[in-house]
Amino acid sequence: MLPDGPTPWSHVDLANRRLVALELAGNGDILVGGVEYEPVPDEPPKLWLARLAPTGSVVWSSTYASDLDDHDVSSIQLASTPGGDIVAVRPAHLRAVDAAGETLWLRAAPEGDAWSVDYRDVAVDAQGRIFIGGDRGHGDAASRAVYLEALAPDGALLWQTSLKSPAYGATSAPSLMVDPAGSVLVAMQLSDSPDETGGGAVAAYDAAGALQWWRSSPGTTRAIPGAFVPAPNGGFFVDWDFMGDDSGSSSVARYDAEGARLYELDQVEGWVLDFRAGPDGRFYSLETSEWEDDEGRYVVPHLP
């Protein structure tokens, strides 16, 4: 879309394809991720990736089959590397493709005899190192811990670690960001079963995998992290969804560079679907009404 609002073009793809993720490449191209459903019943959907030029023309569009069991077809995260490669993460695996869409390498999420990892998010630093966050569990929700691993640009494992709150039964649903200093920031959910009380937490690792700090915000509901955005002059924003038994809400919180929570941004009464930095120094949230019969969407500007 243009800054003043009109839409110069739109892209409509095949009816059996579902768009799940968008990302901008370093050259301004638009990276699209989703799934393509097969006409054969019970056949697992394929990963679908496409690259669009800023004018809307399709540079390439490809599908990728996998023998790995990706049970959550709605979970796809994309990232682009400084060298122009594209990383697509699904719960069971990570696929790296080059700028033309050709597969470079494939990595399965780790698993053992009594545990497994579901990948959840991905971030890339200025050196092309790939950081993946996931949930590591033993089959029950209470055992979940946040799993974090770092890969070289060619997919070689650099390090891996797990993070779990000592005060709560489960630590899960990580969202990742690499800050301008090169630290890997992790936002995560804290919860206790069966009453599901908990809150949220943020942590920072250096590029070698050493924990720098951990900050938790206890609460009476589960806090699920969403968008993760750097703030001007240091610090960052996190979009949180708060889930209780009978209610839910969203907020965007600002933190300083050491993870201290500073304040929350004003918002429409409803859900924050996405949160991004704008070219004008403002930040923009895509929000929806909390009322089920009101399907309106709102783009709300915020000062930092």
CATH of the domain at 139: 2.120.10.10
Q: Is 292's pLDDT higher than 80?
A: no
Contacts of 142 (CB under 8 A, 6+ apart): 169, 170, 192, 193
Burial (0-12, 13-18, 19+ Cβ within 10 Å), 273: middle
Domain count, the chain: 1
Question: Rounded to an integer, what distance in angstroms lies between the CA atom of residue 79 and that of residue 23?
Answer: 7
Contacts of 87 (CB under 8 A, 6+ apart): 78, 79, 80, 81, 94, 95, 96, 122, 124, 130
Identify whether 256 is part of a domain: yes
pLDDT in tens, 153-172: 999 999 999 988 877 778 88
Q: What is the pLDDT of residue 221?
A: 74
Q: What is the pLDDT of residue 143?
A: 74
Q: What is the pLDDT of residue 65?
A: 86
Question: Rounded to an integer, what distance in angstroms lies between the CA atom of residue 37 and that of residue 111?
Answer: 27
Letter string b/e over residues 130-143, b meaning 16 or more CB atoms within 10 A of that residue's CB: bbbbbbbbeeeeeb
Identify whether 215 is part of a domain: yes
Q: What is the pLDDT of residue 190?
A: 86
Q: Are strands 93-97 and 58-64 parallel, antiparallel or unpaired?
A: unpaired
Q: Work out the pLDDT band at 290, boundaries 50, 70, 90.
A: low
Identify whether 57 is part of a domain: no
Identify whether 174 is part of a domain: yes
Which range marks the domain in which residue 235 is found?
109-274
Radius of gyration over every alpha carbon of the chain, rounded to an integer in angstroms:
19
Q: What is the pLDDT of residue 75?
A: 85
Name the nearest CA neighbour of 155 among 121, 105, 119: 105
pLDDT in tens, 114-143: 888 999 999 999 999 999 999 998 766 667
Q: Is 294's pLDDT higher than 60?
A: no
Identify whether 212 is part of a domain: yes
Identify whether 143 is part of a domain: yes
Identify whether 285 is part of a domain: no
Question: Rounded to an integer, what distance in angstroms lies between the CA atom of residue 240 and that of residue 285?
Answer: 12
Identify whether 202 is part of a domain: yes
pLDDT in tens, 53-91: 988 899 999 999 876 665 556 689 999 999 999 999 999
